[in-house]
Amino acid sequence: MKKPNYGIDAPEVIRNLIIFSVLGFLLPQFFPLIKIGPVNFDTRGFNLMGLGCGVMTVWMLLYSLYGKLKHRDRILNMINWKGTEMVLDIGTGRGLMAIGAAKKLTTGKSIGIDIWNMEDLTQNSMANTLDNVILEGVENKVEIKNENAINLSFADNSFDIIISNLCLHNIYNAGDRKKACNEIGRVLKKGGTAVISDFRHIKEYKNNFEQYGLHTELFPASYFTTFPPLPILKITK
Ligand SMILES: C[S@@+](CC[C@H](N)C(=O)[O-])C[C@H]1O[C@@H](n2cnc3c(N)ncnc32)[C@H](O)[C@@H]1O
C-alpha cells in the first residue's frame, strides 16, 4: 500500500554536499599533491571537508525522513487544541503541517498554501500534496491552495492557528519577509496562535511580529530531530 511521502527538503543543497563529500575523499586518493604554477597544494586536508559534508548530508536526510515528523509533533503540541479551529499552514509543501493539524480537528478546517518551488522540496506539487491528504484520510478537513505567503487572499482575523515550517527563508528579500509576517499578523484572529519554525532569520521574524504588536516567545532548536537546527517562534495576538 502507498505511504504518505513528505519529501526531501532542499534537494539541491543535499546534492552539492554529496558532490563535495565525494570530491573531499577522492581528490586526496588520486591527486595527493596538486601543482598550480609554483604552488604545491597538499589535498589531504580535503578529507576533513569530505567528512564534514558527508555528516551534514546524512543529518539533513535523517531530518527529512524521520526528524520532521518529530518536529511537527513538537510544534503541534505547543497548541491547546479544541478541534474546532481554522488552521493555516504557510508553505505546506507536501502537507506535513496541514495534515498533522487536521488530525487534531473535529469540526475545524486546515488550509495549506504553497507556490510549490521544486528546489525547496522533492516532487513538490499540489497533486502530490493532495495524494498525501487522501492517504492520511483527512480529505474532509483539508483544503490546499496555490497562494503566496507575501500576499494572502484571506480576510483579516480568519485563523485561530497559523503554522509555517521552513518556508519564510525562501523569500529572499527582507522587505517581502516582513510583508509575509504582517500578513500572518493580519489573518490571525485575536486570541489566536501562530507557530513559525525556520533555520534562518528567526530573530528578524520576532522583531517583525513585535513591531506588528504581537507577543512572541522563542524556543531553541532540537539538535536531535532537526538539521539544519530549527528554532521555533510562538506568536500570540
Ligand atoms: C522546505 S519546504 C517545507 C515544506 C513543509 N512546510 C515541510 O515542513 O515539509 C518549503 C516550502 O515553502 C514553499 N514556499 C517558498 N516560498 C513561498 C512563498 N512565498 N509562499 C508560499 N510558499 C512558499 C516552497 O514551495 C516549499 O514547499
Residue 102: CB atoms within 10 A of its CB come to 25
**What pLDDT was estimated at residue 119?**
95
Q: Whose CA is nearest to atom 14 of ligand 1?
A: 91
- What is the residue whose three cell numbers read 473535529? 106
Same domain, 58 and 145: no
Same domain, 57 and 114: no
| Ligand 1 centroid, distance to 51 Cα (angstroms) | 29
Cα–Cα distance list, 105 to 32, 164, 165 (Å):
60, 18, 19
Same domain, 156 and 209: yes
CATH label of the domain that carries residue 216: 3.40.50.150
pTM for this structure? 0.94
Helix axes 11-30, 46-62, angle to 10 degrees: 150
Q: Whose CA is nearest to atom 16 of ligand 1?
A: 170
| Ligand 1 centroid, distance to 138 Cα (angstroms) | 20
Cα–Cα distance list, 134 to 100, 103, 112, 163, 230 (Å):
13, 13, 14, 21, 28
Q: Whose CA is nearest to atom 9 of ligand 1?
A: 96
Q: What is the pLDDT of residues 90-139, one digit of tens each?
A: 999 999 999 999 999 999 999 999 999 999 999 999 999 999 999 999 99
Tally the domains of the chain: 2
Long-range Cβ pairs for the range 47-54 (8 Å, 24+): 48/24, 49/20, 49/24, 50/20, 50/21, 50/22, 50/23, 50/24, 50/25, 51/21, 51/24, 52/24, 53/17, 53/18, 53/20, 53/21, 53/24, 54/17, 54/21, 54/24, 54/25
Whether residue 183 has its Cβ less than 6 Å from ligand 1 = no
**What pLDDT was estimated at residue 39?**
86
Whether residue 93 has its Cβ less than 6 Å from ligand 1 = yes
Whether residue 171 has its Cβ less than 6 Å from ligand 1 = yes
Q: In angstroms, rounded to a whole number, what is the distance separating the alpha carbons of residues 58 and 74?
A: 22
Same domain, 126 and 211: yes
Same domain, 102 and 33: no
| Ligand 1 centroid, distance to 190 Cα (angstroms) | 25
Residue 47, sorted as left (phi over 0), alpha (psi -120 to 50) or beta, turns out to be: alpha
Q: What is the pLDDT of residues 185-204, one digit of tens each?
A: 999 999 999 999 999 999 99
Whether residue 150 has its Cβ less than 6 Å from ligand 1 = yes
Query: Which residue ranges of the chain lie beneath pLDDT 70?
Result: none
Return the ligand 1 atom nearest residue 93 CA.
27
Of 68, 94, 116, which residue constitutes the final position of a domain? Answer: 68
Same domain, 49 and 99: no
Of 24, 46, 68, which residue constitutes the final position of a domain? Answer: 68
Whether residue 196 has its Cβ less than 6 Å from ligand 1 = no
Residue 1 inside a domain? The answer is no
**What pLDDT was estimated at residue 181?**
98
Residue 218 inside a domain? The answer is yes
Query: Which domain, by its residues, includes 47?
Result: 11-68
